[in-house]
Every structure is written in C-alpha cells, then in structure tokens.
Chains A and B, each alone.
Chain A
Amino acid sequence: MAIKQEEIHKLLKEGFPDADIEINDLAGDDNHYAAKIKSSKFKGKTRVQQHQMVYASLKGKMGNELHALALTTEEK
C-alpha cells in the first residue's frame, strides 16, 4: 500500500494541467505526503470542493494506496 511521488505528480498534472505542484514525502515511506497545488481550476470553489477535485484526480487512490496526503489548495 504505497505510491510513488512521481505517480501522484503525474495524476495531479493530468487533473490540473496549469497547476504549480509541490509534493513532499513526509515520512519517507511513500505513504504520507503533503501536496501544495495552485491552479486556476480552483477559482470560485469552496475548500471542500477544491479538495474533492484533487481526490477525484487521484482516481480512487486516496484512502487506499495513498494513506495520507495533506492538501493545500490555492487559486492561481
């Protein structure tokens, strides 16, 4: 139950092509990450909606292969 940082980056980039993405592996175990995503797609959305969009881009991996992803979302 782990996922590589590059894989997360790829999925996020697919979901948010214009985004600035910063990912940190918090524990060095491919399982606990923090991601900062800045995208124009977040415009006018609530925080809950923004995070739901991010989870959707991860295609069901969140909560499964990916145990923890601390999210910071920002409008671009």
Chain B
Amino acid sequence: MTNINEKIKDIITKNDVVLFMKGTPEMPQCGFSMTVSNILKELKVKFSGVNVLADPELRQGIKDFSNWPTVPQLYIKGEFIGGCDIAKEMHENGKLKKVLNSI
C-alpha cells in the first residue's frame, strides 16, 4: 500500500503529463482511455501513458491514491486533473490547453 503510493508519487513527479489508462496510447483497451489519449495526441502533448492493466497493484493503487474509482486518470504536474468526463469538458472549453501551455 505505502509502496504503491510512493511509486505513483514518483511517476507523477518525474513526468509532467501522465495518463493512467487501460492499455497503451498506441493500443488503448478501453473507449474512455482512448478518448483521453486521443485528446492529448490532438493537442500534441508529450505524455506518459501508464497501463494499469499490466500491474494489478497499480490498478487498485491509483484508485485509492486519487480517491477516484475509475480509470483513465489524468495528472498534470503532479496534480490530479480528472477522469474522462472532466478531460473532455476541459478540452471542449479550452481549459486543458491552457493548463498544458503553462507547463
């Protein structure tokens, strides 16, 4: 438990934009993960896709860490931005681009 929290902290500290997702950016395994991954690609953002399906401990750990029951989860500069709905909403109203431009 503590270990996985440390591991997640490490990932979101070392990478500016992290998407915890099912599958990979090249091959998403879930429609919601694909949606967020495609938004980031569209914005031409360099991001780190972390496949939670490859690590059962991480799959549960990220839910506890963020107090968020679902995947995908988007982190920017160590801050939890939200899941698919919020990412979509922020993309549509331009806020996501603003946040990404400021990093």
Give the B-binding residues of A (Cβ under 8 A): 47-48, 51-52, 55, 60, 62-64, 68, 70-72
Contact = CB atoms under 8 A, between A and B. Distances in A.
Nearest to B60: A63
Interface of B: 32, 63, 67-70, 80-86, 89
Contacts, number: 31
A52 B85 contact: no
A70 B85 contact: yes
Nearest to B80: A48
A47 B68 contact: no
B47 to A, nearest CB: 19
B67 A51 contact: no
